[in-house]
A and B are shown apart, each in its own frame.
Chain A
Amino acid sequence: MPARPPAPITCTGLARIHDNGVMALDPLDLTFAPGRTTALIGPSGCGKSTLLRLIAGLDRPTAGEVLIAGLPPARQAAQGAIAMAFQDPSLLPWLTLRRNIALARKLARQPANPGLVDRLIGLVGLEGFHETRPAALSGGMRQRAAIARALVTQPRVLLLDEPFGAVDELTRRQLARDLPPLWQPLGTTTVLVTHSVDEAVLLSDRILVLSPRPARVVADLAVPLPHPRALQVTETPAFRRIAAQALAALAQGVADSPALAAQ
């Protein structure tokens, strides 16, 4: 797959107050390095999905801005530079696997590329299921398909909102092992939202630990482990040390939260 030039993401003074008045993000200044994978972890409802949606251009910030390679997300999205995978695989039930994946290129206004669709189906381990509808696939297989759909537009930015969150632990570990090598060599700037500290360490180059709402960054941890990472890496001391730091930062963020301090 020919890669497009990596795109940095910068968030400046980014704040978001929901329609119901809840302040989801404290003004945030963040930079995501081009071609690297950053994991966002934090307690439930802290605003990490909000941040991801702002980067995707699905929501508009109340204040501040997001720029992807110097352009607003909506402009980049219109050029097919962004792809997103959700916790729900969100495959359209009436389309076959092949057509579900091909749909992304159509939506991104890119020319059809049946060869790439077929190759990606093979790469995510769904060979032979081209003409199968989503209802006949298992949860893990659907997530593989959703990742294939996200990659078929050869995005510069890949946004993953707990993409392995709805499958069982064993499948989750298999997906975390099999799928990242598909995008990591491409220079895709990836932002991953996850609940799992281990998944964050396993998949990312950097971990941002967020506080309870309104989200602010309580820790910014580098993950200097070489790629590709085998599952065994989770047993190494270096891995466990970073995971412990992340967990401690999470707990600290909760303890320092002004909402809790007020109680």
Chain B
Amino acid sequence: MTALARRAGSPVLLLALWQLAAAATAGQFLLAGPVAVGGWLADNPGLVGRALSASLANAAWGFLAGNLAAILIATVAMLWPRALNLLSGLALVVFCLPLVATGPILRVTMGPGNGPQIVLAALAVFYTTLIPLLAGLRAAPSVWFDLVASYGRGRLAALIHVRARASLPYLLAGLQIAAPAAFLGAMVGEFTGAERGLGVLTIRFTRDLNVPALWAVASVAAAVSIAAYGGIGALGRRFLLERPPVILAPPRLSRGSLAGRLQGCVLLAGVTLALWWGGIELFGLNPFFAKRPPDLLAALTRAPDAAATRQALLGAAGQTAALVLPGYLAGLALGAGLAVTLSLAPRLSGLVTPLAVALRSVPIVTTAPLVVLMLGRGAAGTIALVALMVFFPTFVACQHGLRQAPGQILDILRGYGAGGLAQLIHVRIPAMLPAFFAAARMGVPAAILAVTVAEWLATGRGLGNLMTLSASLSDYTMLWLTVVLVTGASVLGHGGIAWIERRVLRLYAPEQVDP
């Protein structure tokens, strides 16, 4: 009974707070409480049901395609380890493509059907499955591979008999994150001119300022995401013996020299350019909207309006940076800070943690209109959205990291009479660092996604706005330029965090860097 009460405690608390907040702000067109949301849903079951089934179908197809691609690439990387670095680099580039800009580009290439939603859903899940899967495929103890090799068998046998099964908990944890991500991708795809789906309703109700409807759609999206997240988690608990892994993106081993790594970067850039250019030539895409690398270079250098183009691009990038950096840093600081604070107050943690785990699965971007409703179209709303996007994964990862503190070392500290604060500073926080950095790294593309969506839907400034503006003006050169700029910044940001991560972990967790 008490266990049931504890499990039900935080959702009931959340609903009560929600209703209270709605009552307190009644008449301000900000917040519709659970009662109003329930009422609106009861009045419009057909509308929501049709939109939901359209979004669900798109998300499901994207989920399937993106995950199959991830599994295929991971398999290739295991059988051909030399390709591992290049493949994961390319995957990162694909993951960093800004959905807000790829959406319109897909829309003009694929037409008004479901194609773009499905592709965006697939793009959204591809990386979140690939990275844990690669980690899982390599997570088995080396002696298991010795066993396979001692019978004269090679990589394929190791993949079949050891890696495939050993990676299942990681795959499942990746799929768990991927399920809400697919839903997010589908909804962003629907934002860009689809005919049906929850994303279409979101855009419509944002324009109408229909507060209860907007909250209802966001609630349905959140509920579906939490259900998918929970369902896959339950599947894992039912069929797997192992506990699910929490750090899904462990740091990559830093073997090899600086020159070797630079060579890898150049190779990655070259292959990316070749795939981009070659893809356009191969499919014979219309040069009006399919821009090649030299077209963009010319637009920035030789074109008559090159100076204006550069200025527009840099101006927008500056506006976006001014929002994404504070939001990203605030999200990291709040996530890590709350995790550390709660570790000193375990009882409070029991109430907050299940809530955070559930909210982590909510596609925050789909709630962008709500954040904008509450915090306005200015900087505060956008920064808050970015911070929220980064906050939940950081918080959950840091809580896990704090629990990894080695018990024997804590016992030694306790033996010297060290208090909770000393234990925190000397043992728990260093133990938290690997999880923190894993979250910080994965948070870079997430933050950029959040800021571009918010700029598009709300602020009318920055790169997100430039993307949608260029798309509606059919200025595809500018659209491609923003894609390259944002993707490049994401990949560089990700790489920069990974660089800091390696330096810090070499000091605090050397076993994670050089096994």
- Interface segment among B127-135, B138-146, B226-234, B358-366: the answer is B138-146
The reply to whether B151 and A94 form a contact with Cβ atoms under 8 Å apart is no
Q: Which of B141, B150, B162, B242 is close to A58, meaning CB atoms less than 8 Å apart?
A: B150
A77 in contact with B241 given A90-B143, A94-B165, A107-B157 (CB within 8 Å): no
Q: Which of B149, B153, B241 is close to A93, meaning CB atoms less than 8 Å apart?
A: B241
Closest to B157 in A: A107
Closest to A93 in B: B241
A88 in contact with B241 given A82-B151, A107-B148 (CB within 8 Å): no
Q: Nearest chain B CB to A162's CB is how many angstroms away? A: 12
For A94-130 the 0/1 string (1 means CB < 8 A from B) is 1000000001101111000000000000000000000
B141: A residues at CB distance < 8 A: 88, 90
Task: Confirm or deny: B306 has a beta carbon within 8 angstroms of a beta carbon on chain A.
Answer: no
Task: Confirm or deny: A222 has a beta carbon within 8 angstroms of a beta carbon on chain B.
Answer: no
* A145-173 with Cβ < 8 A to chain B: 153, 159
Task: Confirm or deny: A84 has a beta carbon within 8 angstroms of a beta carbon on chain B.
Answer: yes
The reply to whether B147 and A79 form a contact with Cβ atoms under 8 Å apart is no
A80 in contact with B151 given A58-B146, A86-B143, A88-B143 (CB within 8 Å): yes
The reply to whether A108 and B151 form a contact with Cβ atoms under 8 Å apart is yes
The reply to whether B152 and A90 form a contact with Cβ atoms under 8 Å apart is no
The reply to whether B143 and A107 form a contact with Cβ atoms under 8 Å apart is no
Task: Confirm or deny: A92 has a beta carbon within 8 angstroms of a beta carbon on chain B.
Answer: yes
A107 in contact with B241 given A88-B141, A92-B144, A92-B162 (CB within 8 Å): no
Task: Confirm or deny: A57 has a beta carbon within 8 angstroms of a beta carbon on chain B.
Answer: yes
The reply to whether A56 and B150 form a contact with Cβ atoms under 8 Å apart is yes
A153: B residues at CB distance < 8 A: 151
Q: For the complex, what is the distance from the CA of A90 to the CA of B150, rounded to whole Å?
A: 13
Q: Which of B147, B151, B161, B242 is close to A90, meaning CB atoms less than 8 Å apart?
A: B147
The reply to whether A92 and B143 form a contact with Cβ atoms under 8 Å apart is no
Task: Confirm or deny: A83 has a beta carbon within 8 angstroms of a beta carbon on chain B.
Answer: yes
A78 in contact with B150 given A90-B143, A107-B157 (CB within 8 Å): no
Count A interface residues, CB 8 Å.
30
Q: Which of B147, B151, B157, B161 is close to A86, meaning CB atoms less than 8 Å apart?
A: B147
B150: A residues at CB distance < 8 A: 56-58, 77, 82-84, 159
B162: A residues at CB distance < 8 A: 92
Q: For the complex, what is the distance from the CA of A107 to the CA of B157, rounded to whole Å?
A: 8
The reply to whether A78 and B144 form a contact with Cβ atoms under 8 Å apart is no
Task: Confirm or deny: A177 has a beta carbon within 8 angstroms of a beta carbon on chain B.
Answer: no
Task: Confirm or deny: A135 has a beta carbon within 8 angstroms of a beta carbon on chain B.
Answer: yes
Task: Confirm or deny: A195 has a beta carbon within 8 angstroms of a beta carbon on chain B.
Answer: no
Q: For the complex, what is the distance from the CA of A56 to the CA of B141, rounded to whole Å?
A: 18
Q: For the complex, what is the distance from the CA of A106 to the CA of B149, rounded to whole Å?
A: 13
B144: A residues at CB distance < 8 A: 90, 92
Residue with the highest number of chain B CB atoms closer than 10 Å, among A75, A76, A92: A92
Cβ contacts A to B, 23 pairs, < 8 Å: A56-B149, A57-B149, A57-B152, A58-B146, A58-B149, A58-B150, A78-B152, A78-B153, A79-B152, A80-B151, A83-B151, A84-B146, A88-B141, A90-B146, A92-B144, A93-B241, A93-B242, A94-B165, A106-B161, A107-B147, A109-B151, A153-B151, A159-B150
Known: A88-B141, A108-B151, A153-B151. 16 other contacts (CB 8 A): A53-B146, A58-B146, A76-B152, A77-B149, A79-B152, A80-B152, A83-B151, A84-B146, A84-B147, A88-B143, A90-B141, A90-B143, A90-B144, A92-B144, A94-B165, A135-B241
